[in-house]
Structure 1
């Protein structure tokens, strides 16, 4: 193994150890690290043996409400749908029965959900990645996160000042988001940032200067997404083309050699082959309506949790809709069907008689107007991981779980 790979990754990891409180580190290593390792192994065995299906991780959108109005967002931010506290608590409890203790908490803006922290505090044996725009994080709130110890805020930074204001529909969003980051840094939290990369923010965010800027602000890991032109107001012209996606992949692989923070993606395995986490069964999504969905941007479903989510395990075990969805997407492509073949997606959803799970009730019509754009399935142009640490992690966690044969 290359010593320089260890050194580069160790430096990024050392920042976490040096900058975060001992309680935060312990919760991360045990709740996320140890429990997650056991969970992945259990999931892998279930998949290999053809046992009852349950995803390794569940992403939970708890509310449609949001204090921003971002262009290209698939959430109905003016909607009123939210999971009940009993449903949220039940989702977590039922998942723990299957060995899953890690959850992504999304919105809208999840910090608008009353009672969220009390539920996460109740489940102190779990670890939560809180997807937030950061504008509502105060020093007081960050200190509460620190006391709980089982939350890592993943703060969305969609561009610098001008792009943030234009894309997110409000003024001074960049400054307010950074204020939230700084509150988290003062509380010595493990802090993540995320960005949906599109044409309008590519030059600002896909460069070494931005990674160093984030690290200087106290960010410990950065998660790159690929922009999906979905929702009530999609901006197809802002979608990346194939060359830009290749440049993004190349940049991530190159920067992993010596970046001052950890770089995350869920699009490619260790060899650079594309994958879809939902097609592998690794993760699925629960919407504010209680719909059990394939993934967050695909807002149509046939399965819904009951008033306390006590039926969740049975839904995953019995859902022909999700089973057929996984098979269909894996057979079609290793990439993202919503980008590459929206027509095939519509045909499948119509055949399955899936239901719109949003407040706006226009998703089916939105999909009918979509046209294919470039995805991350770059056959013949794969870029393998070069950093040994990332290569091992990807080989362990992103090899497809048999979904692609």
Structure 2
């Protein structure tokens, strides 16, 4: 055990006793030990939460309702390895190699799924593709050399391969693993396995309340998800929610009732994703209107100052990250056939992990085009090269010779952009209005509602 691990272990023991008294002391100690300005904004937010005993402080306290071993693994793997130690190695690699280096790697263990949800881009891959255990292990080992300690499973349904998912947690106890899952395969046995390995966190897909959710995901799915959340909460395991907002469910998933339901069910975080019209069978009518997208954005930001749940808005939070996070800048995606894609939603690539190293993929033409083009728009409410700046995606695909990675029904970049061009045109006036009104506004940056 290293001196750092010993220090973390002692710090965790220190605050287990009297949280209200010891958490402020530990934060003061961190301010003394960490370099000046290092994660300053985040540390400032934590200090404010402690001083004001606000909703964020209540969320911190909820972490202490978790299983102690799972909580300790989360602090060590996510907060230290992935976010602190990892960021130093990533920076060194980035400067040495001249390419983006991801904080997180998304990968698909399988393209198979036990559901077939309306408008799901993952369904376009088919159900016969898998990354072997050995390949995933190699990806993780290469990633750790570059400072990446956070791995997120997508799919398909990752829990179709429960045994391998757990085995990888055992093989890499210094990493934190998260999985987007429909939740229907989480049972008592799997909860016990999560308690045993300690470094696996599910993000369960939920599209709103029962009628809306099952209308997209299938009859009975909502009740199966409710049962999964009950089991996880009962076993004191961390989990979150993943929800895709569309023109049909935007009001449901952004309502106060839905936020309260997630919190009461035990969720610690929620990840909101804008519907993407990817694939030849996509349903463009599910794209939210500009007014609907604005409603979702404003409600999420409002609840950040009142609700004890950590919320992320993938499409509308680019300003907090300085632009679009794909292309290896913060993450990349590897599909079940091994194609290395700059974005989980954009299915074009010019390299495969079976033929190149992770570093070679990051220095490939398409990834370097992403790096050179970021940010894709000075207005951070226009972050994506597909949804809001389709001309940028079209140019990158054409210039780099990238090809479609949808092997069931390949979609040309022209066909995809023909669906997103009208969306971008419609969104631009609203996005410009909101950005010009609030860019740099203190209230917005603090997550408060727009006036």
Query: Aligning the two structures, in what range does the TM-score lie when normalised by the shorter sequence?
Result: 0.7 to 0.9
Deviation at residue 279 of structure 1 after TM alignment: 5.1
Unpaired stretches in structure 1, ≥5 consecutive residues: 392-405
Give TM-score, length-normalised by structure 2: 0.78
Within a 5 Å distance, the mapping from 1:203-222 to structure 2 comes to 203-222=251-270
Matched, 1:56 2:103: yes
- Match among 382, 396, 399 for residue 348 of structure 1: 396
**Counterpart position of 2:59:** 12
Q: Larger deviation: 191-200 or 5-14? A: 5-14
The reply to whether residue 319 of structure 1 matches residue 364 of structure 2 is yes
Aligned pair count reads: 386
Which has the larger displacement, 365-374 or 283-292? 365-374
Encode CA deviations 1:33-62: one digit per residue, 9 max, x unaligned. 111222123334555677454222211122
Q: Which residue of 2 aligns with 1:285?
A: 333
Return closer, same or farther for 1:342/1:270 CA change in 2, 3 Å cut-off. closer
Q: Which residue of structure 1 aligns with residue 25 of structure 2? A: none
Q: 1:232 to 1:180 in 2, by over 3 A?
A: farther
* Distance (whole Å) between structure 2 residues aligned to residue 343 and residue 157 of structure 1: 32
1:273 deviates by 8.2
Aligned equivalents of 2:404, 2:312: Cα separation in 1: 31
Find the aligned partners of 1:77 and 1:67 in 2 and give their Cα distance: 14
Q: Is the deviation greater in 355-364 or in 43-52?
A: 43-52
The counterpart of 2:323, out of the listed 259, 264, 275, is: 275
Q: Which has the higher contact order (CA 8 A, sep 6+)?
A: 1
Which digits, 9 at most, give the CA deviation of each residue in 1:335-373, with x for residues without a partner? 112112334423431332212223214222642542321
Alignment deviations for residues 213-252 of structure 1 (CA, whole Å, 9 cap, x no partner): 1111111111111111222322212212222222222212
Q: Are the equivalent residues in 1 in contact too, given 2:339–2:405 (CA < 8 A)?
A: yes
Give 1:43's match in structure 2, choosing from 82, 85, 90. Answer: 90
**Number of the residue aligned with 1:81:** 129
Aligned-CA RMSD value:
2.7
Asked if 1:24 corresponds to 2:73, the answer is no
In the alignment, is the contact (CA less than 8 A) between 1:64 and 1:81 conserved in 2? yes
Sort the Cα spacing of 1:247 and 1:46 in 2 relative to 1 into closer, same or farther, 3 A: farther
Q: Could you tell me whether the CA contact under 8 Å between 2:109 and 2:158 is conserved in 1?
A: yes
Query: Are positions 1:338 and 2:391 aligned together?
Result: no
Structure with max Cα Rg: 2
Q: Are 1:118 and 2:167 counterparts?
A: yes
Structure 2, gaps ≥5 residues long: 1-43
Give the whole-Å Cα distance in 2 for the aligned partners of 1:163 and 1:275.
32
1:85-113 Cα shifts (integer Å, max 9, x gaps): 11111111111111211111111100112
Of 341, 349, 358, the residue aligned with 2:406 is 358
- Aligned equivalents of 1:386, 1:129: Cα separation in 2: 31
Does residue 166 in structure 1 map to residue 215 in structure 2?
yes
